A and B are shown apart, each in its own frame.
Chain A
Amino acid sequence: MMWTVTRKLVLTFTVLVILIPIIPMMLWSVAETWTYPSLFPSELSFDNFTMLFDTYSLGKVITDSIIVSAIVTIVSILLAVMPAKFIGTQHFRGKIFVQTLTMMPVMAPAIIVLFGLMGVFVKMGIYKTFLSLVIAEAVFLVPYAIMVLVPIFKNYDSGIEDQASTLGINWLSRLLNVVLPNLKTGLMVSAMYVFMSSWAAYLAVSMFAPRTFNTVASLLYPAIYNGQYSNGMLASLTVLFFIPSIAFLFISTWIIGTDKMNNGRI
């Protein structure tokens, strides 16, 4: 009885802590007029969203943001899989050192690493291109992807690959039907983390994105600091910033939850 009450209290508190900052933001995004001392907006409309879409081609900005984050996620996961598998499944001297080494790009201050990359990109002639943006984001996100995947590979039964090959199954079928389903949950968690981080990336976008290229984050952060937007427009932009991340989070959680191999556990 006591436990149930405590649990309900904790749950209510947690929900409130999460929702309290979000509720005013949601209300501001759809408020036509909201003046003191009213507790709620007196009129509701989607004018803020309409204005954003009209003024800043927000449809294109959101599409570009999704494309960049999706490509960075795919690239980062692909680059992280082999080192993570190596670190997770092999025993060798200096393993901890190697694992630490993979985290080096995120240990140094981001601005220093990005300036270093800028020099390299200028020499390569790819500075301020889509490619330079993807590489710059991946440099910071591959280490995290590795960090998430290493424990997954530590628990990975690499014997199933030998088992499948002794049953005459070729490498492509092994990869698609045996290896990937076994790693699905881990890959999903890693991808979720990388996607959300890329979605929220601002510094790399501001330094390496082509001049006409914007992401939702690159619009939102200056808007907050410069004060050029009304409360309503800022709130609408923030809501738009949230939606893809939350959608990705729900999709990933659903995929993990339906994972029959792990009974929904990671």
Chain B
Amino acid sequence: MNICIKNGRLVDPKNGIDAQLDLFIADGRIAAVGQAPAGFTADKTIEADGAVVCPGLIDLSVRLPSLESELAAAIAGGVTTVVCPPDTKPVLDEPGLVERLIQRAEALGLARVLPLGALTRNLEGQSLASMAGLASAGCVAFSQADRPVTDLQSLYRAMQYAATYDFTVWLRPQDYQLARDGVAHDGEVAARLGLAGIPVAAETVAIATLVELAKATGVRLHLMRISSAAGVAMVRDAQAKGARVTCDVAVHHLHLSEEDIGYFNALARFDPPLRAVSDRAALRFGLAEGTVGAVCSDHTPTAEDGKLLPFGEADAGNPGLTLLLPLVLAWAEEAGLSLNTALARVTSNAAAIIGRDDLGHLAPGAVADVCVFDPAASWTITPEAFSSVGRNSPLAGRTMKGRVLAVVAGGRPL
């Protein structure tokens, strides 16, 4: 199908474009920018007057309890690629399971699913999963999701094996022993409310360990959902010294802090926990300067019952796919960043972390994933209207700017 997206403000961070240009799509790929290719006839024209036309968003952390609802939520949020951690049921440690997940997602024709394969079998942290086979099946990297590898020798071997094939390992920087029993940032709010704390040291100790193991094994390391100022500083330092390490942050950590727990608001329970206001400032700065390469939604739909419990017993996380774009735009506006800089964190930078140069940009030949949004349109967050099976958000009732008007995913208009 030939599609023309007309009169929009084309923002393509990877290629440094921010200009009013038409976009031409043919056979699932970007065909041309600006001038129509010779003999191009559009089967469909999308009028993008006053709207921004950018690469479809890439979300690096999305849980998929139900494929159809969550991938619909992705499209509603302008997200065309979701990275799914391997702690699905069953765990993604068999190539057949990965192939089936990808096929089921493709059959829906919504957002693309790029699975992370299990680093160890059943995520138990003992024996290695069949990484090469999982990669052939479509896994873009290997991860333990939120499960620890308690035996560092096993982790060392797993990293060595991954490095053999130049696979990237994506790990949560959280020492499970220091975080044990904790439910909130070990700070002033936890002290006040009598909540068991997760100290910043749980993150920094883990980063130190993981970075050292990555250096020793030569593996590429991606740290998932960093949460503290000290953590950002350590990653900055490691990158400056040439370590092959990247990291991302969850978008709610750019906007919320421990203070938003108020009096035990279970909707403000996240993993990692919302930390101090100073941590939030460092995460925002780290994302702007590029130490933190990407921002994800950490989309975690929970059943409503999971939040109707005392704070310490409630499920962590909230659905976030629908809020990723407006929350990134809000951060960019407050930080005084260009659209190019801001959108790079959910497009080209994210594609680089995954290792896919055909995604996350709009040069001819790239996969035709496009998001068209009105940057000025404001709307009120109503979790009841989320396509996701998760219907809660600590930001319910807030007014956000940035409304998705149209999405093209793999050349299909949605």
Verify that A and B bind, or say they do not.
Answer: no
